[in-house]
Structure 1
Amino acid sequence: MTRTAATRMPIELRTAAGRVAGRGTGLVAEDTPLVVALHGGGYHCGYFDVPGHSLLDVGAAAGFEVVALDRPGHGGSDGPVADELTFARSAAILDEAVGALWSERGGTRPGIVVVSHSIGSAIAAHLAARRPEWPLLGISLHGVGDRSPAHVVDAWHGIPAGAGPVELPAPQRRALLYGPAGTVDEDAVDAARVSVAPLPLTEMLEIIDGWPAEHRRIAADVVVPVHYTLAEHDGLWVVDEERLAAFAQAFSSAPWVTARIQRGAGHNLDHHRLSRAFHLGQLAFAAECVARR
């Protein structure tokens, strides 16, 4: 079945740190929450808009307005200098940007649900822990964990200090970020390349060093519902039921948490064959946040 792509509108928000850019689907039903999507490392906001695997298209078809933002220092967004591009700093900038977005687009909506991937999920947890003034209803996290395999840690530490932003070679990106051949179409992997962007070394090191050390403290300050998914074939995180449970339990102040290992997918879960089913599950979580608030 062919699905028509939703209309796109450019997003430009002003903050004290400069511009935050992105793309959105435009106004749809106002009884659903506004969905804000934060991409991971090595991509810009187009990660969520790969043809045939677009969260924006699925959201619009289901009656949700979806806005995918370029995180600070990525894509069309301004950002602090590389040494200041911490997850906490990015969360502070995005707090201001999403507040501006809410002032523009909130209308009569019940609130905002943040959907995030990989490093974007670590930043989403920081953002929720800030307890923003705009109405955050819940966060949906995937592509993040609490422990990376030793070979990933060693590889990231092996990059020379002071190196500029890193772009993984296509074969390495395929091996680390996507599951086995039966889980993903190579056409989708190819189509996603237009959303690839260099990854600052500071973020690479924070996700393997700083985040595992401090994520429990951050998670404990999150007081909204949490939807957490770890892909079976994620090449960047240790994946098992013990790690899943430990990560979910860290959100000790959340009113409720759902957590599962998604079978048949890799780190870039949004581009795999089951992406539409996964996106619908995220939107169902957003609707449940409204129903149970």
Structure 2
Amino acid sequence: MTKARVGYPVHGRRISGITTTGGGAGSPLIVALHGGGLNSRYFDVPGHSLLDLGEAAGFRVISLDRPGYGESDALAGGEVSFSGSAEFLDAAIGALWTELGAGHPGVVLLSHSIGSAIAVHIAAREPRWPLLGISLHGVGDRSPAHVVDAWRALPQGGPVELPSEQRRALLYGPEDTFDAGVVDLAKASAEPIPVEEMLEIVGGWPEGVAELAADIVVPVQYTLAQYDGLWVVDESRLAAFAGYFTSAAWVDARLQAGAGHNLDHHRLSRALHLRQLAFACECAARGSAVRG
């Protein structure tokens, strides 16, 4: 598959990413937002590439580096927040839409972990470009106590690089849920994470998600993995989180057995990606029916 780098100037800074070059007219643009401590290559790990599968299925997929990751410029110190990232990404996707949107009905956001929290912020802003739906995974509303305590005990000031053993324990499920070698392949997408993001995901995010979600009117797809080490996982938490989206056109919530936090790298990643692409198709079709 052919991929290219993209870059968009936003308020004197640059948001970068990688994109496929195919994608049929009439299909929605897919914009993917990675999680904390990762970059745009999270969605392009060999054998588990959302970009490759999306292009093969007739979609153009753009995986953006969030501010401060990959080749994207960092936010200023006081701006490092989910809402600050959402503001810049909103503008970048607007520029992206102006460049690439001709012949497409709109944009569907596919997101992971902190990227999903930021996708909620973006959708709640009611962007001027045509947002058709959001697909969220790797995020919840309640973290285990040991994760909250560990994040709040981190030294302030600089980015944090999780040790490989901690990344393996928190981000991946039992060994029979992923192929040998995928953790090493995924290292190319790993980066240090700003401590501000780690504190917000266990602080301001759980406190404010319900209010943000209530303002979202587009369809929502939500997946929570069985072995996600960063969130409390059970049917009640799944239902509670999905229930926050009281104004959404519809909500499709699923507890995914047999996978961990980095669901995109597990043996079930293809199933996840196919469901996400099907969701994007449905968002585009239902949106066209409403507009028509």
TM-score by length of 1: 0.97
Alignment map for 1:99-138 (pairs within 5 Å): 99-138=94-133
Unaligned runs of 5+ in 2: 288-292
Q: In 2, are the aligned partners of 1:73 and 1:85 still within 8 Å (CA)?
A: no
- Letter paired with 2:56: A
- Letter paired with 1:126: H
What is residue 185 of structure 1 aligned with on the other side? 179
Residue 76 of structure 2 is aligned with which of 58, 73, 81?
Answer: 81
**Alignment partners' CA distance in 1, 2:205 and 2:197:** 10
Q: Deviations over 1:29-52 (max 9, x none)?
A: 011100000000010000000000
Alignment map for 1:201-240 (pairs within 5 Å): 201-240=195-234
**Alignment partners' CA distance in 2, 1:121 and 1:16:** 23
Q: Deviations over 1:211-239 (max 9, x none)?
A: 00000010011110000000000000000
What is residue 3 of structure 1 aligned with on the other side? none
Q: CA-atom RMSD, angstroms?
A: 0.8
**Alignment partners' CA distance in 1, 2:12 and 2:192:** 20
Q: In 1, are the aligned partners of 2:133 and 2:280 still within 8 Å (CA)?
A: yes
Residue 262 of structure 2 is aligned with which of 263, 268, 285?
Answer: 268
Between stretches 78-87 and 123-132, larger displacement belongs to 78-87
Unaligned runs of 5+ in 1: 1-5
What is residue 47 of structure 1 aligned with on the other side? 42
* TM-aligned CA deviation for residue 186 of structure 1: 2.7
- Letter paired with 2:202: I
Runs of 4+ in 1 over 4 A off after TM superposition: none
* TM-aligned CA deviation for residue 274 of structure 1: 1.0
Q: In 2, are the aligned partners of 1:35 and 1:64 still within 8 Å (CA)?
A: yes
Residue 257 of structure 1 is aligned with which of 251, 275, 292?
Answer: 251
Q: In 2, are the aligned partners of 1:83 and 1:202 still within 8 Å (CA)?
A: no
* TM-aligned CA deviation for residue 17 of structure 1: 4.3
**Alignment partners' CA distance in 2, 1:172 and 1:17:** 36
Percent identical among aligned pairs is 63
Residue 32 of structure 1 is aligned with which of 24, 27, 48?
Answer: 27
Q: In 2, are the aligned partners of 1:22 and 1:67 still within 8 Å (CA)?
A: yes
Q: In 1, are the aligned partners of 2:22 and 2:58 still within 8 Å (CA)?
A: no
Q: In 2, are the aligned partners of 1:113 and 1:139 still within 8 Å (CA)?
A: yes
* TM-aligned CA deviation for residue 290 of structure 1: 1.1
**Alignment partners' CA distance in 2, 1:205 and 1:17:** 27
Q: In 2, are the aligned partners of 1:11 and 1:24 still within 8 Å (CA)?
A: yes
Q: Deviations over 1:71-106 (max 9, x none)?
A: 011111012223321100100101100000000000
- Letter paired with 1:254: A
What is residue 150 of structure 1 aligned with on the other side? 145
**Alignment partners' CA distance in 1, 2:12 and 2:243:** 34
SS in 2 for 1:22: strand
